[in-house]
């Protein structure tokens, strides 16, 4: 099967785009995917999963990826998801504004793409794109909640006799005909090991059971000794490893040389040769299961899953924590070469506009040519300085300037003031913090350090319990700063210039309880 490509051009009068534009909220998941699906999930992103130009064309994987995302959001089964894609105009609109009569596909296409992804070098590529998009939109903060659940395995649990016999059959099946014939010549039991299942035995007779177990164990040892020193290939080596494990975990050799079932349970006991990684697990002390454990790391504010892991069923929940938090516990960034000197804009008497011009250069390009150029939500440098002076005079706090400690060069400005009117989602009496960094000083952690110092001042000196900040959903740099500051996402709103905004809040740490 070769890579199918989604249509990029269509008759505008016959597409879902002409129908849904104006009817579907542009901020909804359908509106967002309509605009961004070809950028987020280009067909070329899945080219490694298909043959190079040979065979029939696949359903375009960009379309299938969009269906998978909507399927997870709406909690659909595979059959329900493909039905919605076929009959719901919003789903075709989300897939790039396809035509109303764009053909649907069978639900097994979803199964096939998941299988291709699972076998690829990047099985999580759709999840990675969705997670990165959520981070850029400010939906992922710093807090995490970890949880685990049982994943039941459909394979039947095997007893010791079936395990050992199946292990022997696994080695014989994996061997090539020449090696297989040689290995069969080493077996002593009257059994060709070609048919699955338990061997015939009077299982009510203890002596008969003991003889069967001993004979199976000696056949297993004969196979393993016959492979010693050989290089039979990866499949045979893996089958021999499983056989050695099941014999070692379940059988003990007595002083009389007879192998018997061990009177113990091995710590990491294999329960099936069909799925050697499955294990016995426990949901509670009285309720068990066979299979695996699925572990997730969730952002508690947005309820988005940000990391996943799978372990054997007998692994403790805490064992997966390090892997789940690996991306959140990355090595800290190097210390920046700046210190925050809390200088009020109002006291920069020598060149009151110069500092604000530096901020103007950081805020937008090209740099304003004079002090009257609008630099801060439509006001001039002089107007901003007048606002800063008045805010400090009336309220006792206000905007700050960050300077390099070695040179005194202003590199950032951090505003701290009453939010006032005009921000949807923020109360007028809340304390707002904002920052802007000079262009040539970006990427050095200065905004984080400056904002952290001013937020600490707001808590310790001004005495407030929380401060708010907001930014555009696509402002990845500010979103990263808010994440590093430990701010949490509070919701969505509109900025003073009526554009979409994501609102964050930083809260004072609770005081410790008084000493008894």
pLDDT tens digits for range 225-257: 999 888 888 999 999 999 999 999 999 988 888
**Summary mean pLDDT of the chain:** 82
pLDDT, tens digit (0-9, with 9 covering 90-100), for 75-129? 999 999 999 999 999 999 999 999 998 999 999 999 999 999 999 989 999 999 9
Average pLDDT over residues 28-54: 88
Please, which residues have CB within 8 angstroms of residue 132's CB and are 6 or more apart in sequence? Answer: none
Average pLDDT over residues 418-442: 84
For 97, phi then psi, to 5°, come to 75, 50
pLDDT of residue 351: 30
Question: Do 164 and 102 sit in the same domain of this protein?
Answer: no
Question: Do 166 and 85 sit in the same domain of this protein?
Answer: no
Q: Residue 408 above 80 pLDDT?
A: no
Q: Output the pTM of the full model.
A: 0.62
Average pLDDT over residues 354-376: 41
pLDDT of residue 236: 92
Q: Residue 483 above 90 pLDDT?
A: no
Q: Is 148 exposed, middle or buried (0-12, 13-18, 19+ CB in 10 A)?
A: buried
- The share of the chain scoring above pLDDT 90, in percent, equals 37
Question: Do 493 and 354 sit in the same domain of this protein?
Answer: yes
Answer whether residue 277 is part of any domain.
Answer: no
Answer whether residue 147 is part of any domain.
Answer: no
pLDDT, tens digit (0-9, with 9 covering 90-100), for 132-149? 888 888 888 888 999 999
For the chain, how many structural domains are there in total? 3
Question: Do 119 and 166 sit in the same domain of this protein?
Answer: no
| 253 HSE (CA, 13 A, CB side) | 8
Domain-terminating residue out of 96, 123, 150: 123
Cβ atoms of residues 461 and 482 within 8 Å: no
Q: Residue 274 above 60 pLDDT?
A: yes
Average pLDDT over residues 267-286: 87
Average pLDDT over residues 168-177: 92
Answer whether residue 271 is part of any domain.
Answer: no
Higher pLDDT, 404 or 120: 120
Query: Cα 423 vs. chain centroid, distance in angstroms?
Result: 32
Average pLDDT over residues 56-72: 93
Question: Do 78 and 174 sit in the same domain of this protein?
Answer: no
Residue 1: CB atoms within 10 Å:
14
pLDDT of residue 148: 94
Question: Do 445 and 391 sit in the same domain of this protein?
Answer: yes
For 108, the token pair is 């097994």
Answer whether residue 386 is part of any domain.
Answer: yes
Question: Do 424 and 496 sit in the same domain of this protein?
Answer: yes
Question: Do 165 and 235 sit in the same domain of this protein?
Answer: yes
pLDDT of residue 396: 85
pLDDT of residue 207: 92
pLDDT, tens digit (0-9, with 9 covering 90-100), for 109-118? 999 999 999 9
Domain-terminating residue out of 261, 281, 311: 261
Answer whether residue 213 is part of any domain.
Answer: yes
pLDDT, tens digit (0-9, with 9 covering 90-100), for 293-326? 999 999 998 889 999 999 999 998 899 998 899 8
3-class state of residue 276 by DSSP: coil
Please, which residues have CB within 8 angstroms of residue 89's CB and are 6 or more apart in sequence? Answer: 16, 19, 20, 100
Q: Residue 359 above 70 pLDDT?
A: no
Higher pLDDT, 418 or 365: 418
pLDDT, tens digit (0-9, with 9 covering 90-100), for 332-358? 444 444 444 444 433 222 232 334 444
Residue span of the structural domain in which 212 resides: 160-261
Rounded to whole angstroms, how far apart are CA atoms 162 and 156? 11
pLDDT of residue 512: 56
Answer whether residue 290 is part of any domain.
Answer: no
Cβ atoms of residues 174 and 243 within 8 Å: no
Answer whether residue 191 is part of any domain.
Answer: yes
Q: What is the CATH number of the domain that holds 424?
A: 3.40.630.30
Residue 148 bridge partners (DSSP): 295
Question: Do 173 and 63 sit in the same domain of this protein?
Answer: no
Average pLDDT over residues 147-160: 87
pLDDT of residue 377: 45
Answer whether residue 272 is part of any domain.
Answer: no
Give me Rg for the CA atoms of the chain: 33
Question: Do 373 and 445 sit in the same domain of this protein?
Answer: yes
Question: Do 498 and 351 sit in the same domain of this protein?
Answer: yes
Domain-terminating residue out of 230, 261, 292: 261
Please, which residues have CB within 8 angstroms of residue 457's CB and are 6 or more apart in sequence? Answer: 342, 397, 400, 416
- Most confident range, picked from 232-236, 347-351, 400-404, 494-498: 232-236
Question: Do 116 and 179 sit in the same domain of this protein?
Answer: no
């Amino acid at each position: 099967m070769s890579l199918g490509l989604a249509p990029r051009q269509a008759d505008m009068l016959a597409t879902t785009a002409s129908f849904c534009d104006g009817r579907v909220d542009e901020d909804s998941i359908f509106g967002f995917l309509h605009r961004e699906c070809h950028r987020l999930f280009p067909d070329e992103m899945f080219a490694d999963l298909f043959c190079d130009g040979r065979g029939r064309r696949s359903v375009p994987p960009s379309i299938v990826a969009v269906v998978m995302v909507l399927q997870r959001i709406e909690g659909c089964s595979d059959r329900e998801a493909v039905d919605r894609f076929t009959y719901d105009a919003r789903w075709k609109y989300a897939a790039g504004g396809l035509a109303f009569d764009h053909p649907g596909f069978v639900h097994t296409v979803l199964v096939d793409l998941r299988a291709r992804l699972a076998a690829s070098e990047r099985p999580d590529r759709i999840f990675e794109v969705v997670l990165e998009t959520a981070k850029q939109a400010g939906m992922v903060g710093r807090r995490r909640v970890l949880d685990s659940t049982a994943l039941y395995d459909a394979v039947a649990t095997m007893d010791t006799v079936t395990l050992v016999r199946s292990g022997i059959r696994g080695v014989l099946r994996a061997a090539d005909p020449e090696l297989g014939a040689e290995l069969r010549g080493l077996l002593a039991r009257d059994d060709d090991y070609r048919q699955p299942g338990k061997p015939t035995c009077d299982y009510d007779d203890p002596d008969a059971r003991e003889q069967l177990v001993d004979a199976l164990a000696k056949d297993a040892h004969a196979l393993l000794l016959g492979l010693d020193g050989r290089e039979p290939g990866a499949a045979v080596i893996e089958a021999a490893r499983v056989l050695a494990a099941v014999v070692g975990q379940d059988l003990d050799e007595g002083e009389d040389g007879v192998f018997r079932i061990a009177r113990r349970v091995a710590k990491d006991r294999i329960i099936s040769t069909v799925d050697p990684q499955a294990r016995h697990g426990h949901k509670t002390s009285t309720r068990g299961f066979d299979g695996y454990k699925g572990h997730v790391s969730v952002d508690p504010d947005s309820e988005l899953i940000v990391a996943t892991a799978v372990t054997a069923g007998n692994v403790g929940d805490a064992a997966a924590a390090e892997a789940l938090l690996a991306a959140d516990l990355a090595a800290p960034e190097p210390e920046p070469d700046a210190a925050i000197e809390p200088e009020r804009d109002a006291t920069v008497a020598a060149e009151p506009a110069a500092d604000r011009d530096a901020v103007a250069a950081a805020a937008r390009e090209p740099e304003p040519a004079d002090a009257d150029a609008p630099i801060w939500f439509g006001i001039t440098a002089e107007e901003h300085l007048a606002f800063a002076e008045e805010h400090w005079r009336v309220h006792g706090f206000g905007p700050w300037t960050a300077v390099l400690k070695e040179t005194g060069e202003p590199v950032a400005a951090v505003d701290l003031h009453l939010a006032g009117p005009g921000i949807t989602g923020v109360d007028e009496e809340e304390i707002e913090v904002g920052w802007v960094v000079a262009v040539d000083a970006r990427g050095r952690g200065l905004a984080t350090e400056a904002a952290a110092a001013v937020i600490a001042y707001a808590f310790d000196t001004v005495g407030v319990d929380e401060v708010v900040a907001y930014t555009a959903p696509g402002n990845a740099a500010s979103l990263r700063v808010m994440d590093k500051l430990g701010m949490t996402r509070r919701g969505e709103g509109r900025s003073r210039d009526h554009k979409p905004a994501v609102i964050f809040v930083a809260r004072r740490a609770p005081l410790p309880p008084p000493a008894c």
